[in-house]
Structure 1
């Protein structure tokens, strides 16, 4: 009985893997048609056999969100794609927001805030 249960589990796993590969193939082919064959992070260009090193990264991390215009995708080389997900894992480990999702509004310090006053003091003094 245990052997049949493990066989069923393996069959379910293999089916899920097959469906995932089919889904990836469809959005990968579409992404390669509409996006330039350049890594969005490091800028390396890919063609020929090396095109397989270019992966599709979902910006919102939802692999089911595949709009026809490709607005949720970016092409990343294998190394940059791994780095992108590694950064997210580190951020999650520290329970912080993912690196790269900080807005300019988060940086409120202005090192030149008092510069105008210092300059006017020198002119009058």
Structure 2
């Protein structure tokens, strides 16, 4: 009951050079841009069309076209786009619900 919470003071360590700080900022910005980067690349590689239903998209409704990772790993983003397919939100939802239904029918626990 007598505990108090106060901010930790930073541990003193070796000061980073300006070059090290610049590299850190570059790396963090690249990681921050990565999720949108693969979407832009996928749209350029595969076009503005749903790979499943064939619906074509324009700039006005492009937000309805999503990138599906074929292997389910959102960190697997090869530059050739081989793990991506562009799916409209309806087909993308259907694709993910199929795996849930398959797991259910096979008796697998979805909470694992």
Which interval holds the TM-score relative to the shorter structure?
A: 0.5 to 0.7
| Corresponding residue of 1:79 | 90
- Deviation above 4 Å: which 4+ runs of structure 1? none
How many aligned residue pairs are there?
81
| Corresponding residue of 1:35 | 46
Please give the root-mean-square deviation of Cα atoms over the aligned residues, in Å: 2.6
Three-state SS of the structure 2 residue aligned to 1:48 is: coil
Q: Structure 1 CA distance, aligned partners of 2:61 and 2:42?
A: 16
- Normalised by the length of structure 1, the TM-score is 0.58
Highest RCO, 1 vs 2 (Cα 8 Å, sep ≥ 6): 2
Equivalent position to 2:60, from 39, 42, 49: 49
- Which structure has the larger Rg? 1
Structure 1: tracts of 5 or more residues without a match: 2-19, 97-125
- Normalised by the length of structure 2, the TM-score is 0.64
